[in-house]
Amino acid sequence: MKLKIFMILILFSSVFTLNLLTGCGEMVSSSNNLVFPDSSVSYIINVEPFMRVKCAYSGCHCEPPNNTSTPMTTWFELMGSENLGLVVAYKPDSSILIQILEEKLPHNYNAFPHGYITQNQIKGMRKWIEEGAKNN
The answer to whether residue 95 sits within a structural domain is yes
The answer to whether residue 3 sits within a structural domain is no
The answer to whether residue 8 sits within a structural domain is no
**Domain span at 56:** 38-134
Determine the Cα–Cα distance for residues 122 and 60; give it in Å rounded to an integer.
19
Counting the structural domains of the chain, the total is 1
Overall size of the chain counted in residues: 136
Higher-scoring residue by pLDDT: 133, 103: 133
The answer to whether residue 47 sits within a structural domain is yes
Per-residue pLDDT for 25 more than 70? no
Higher-scoring residue by pLDDT: 78, 6: 78
Per-residue pLDDT for 131 more than 90? yes
Per-residue pLDDT for 63 more than 90? no
Q: Enter the pTM of the model.
A: 0.69
The answer to whether residue 16 sits within a structural domain is no
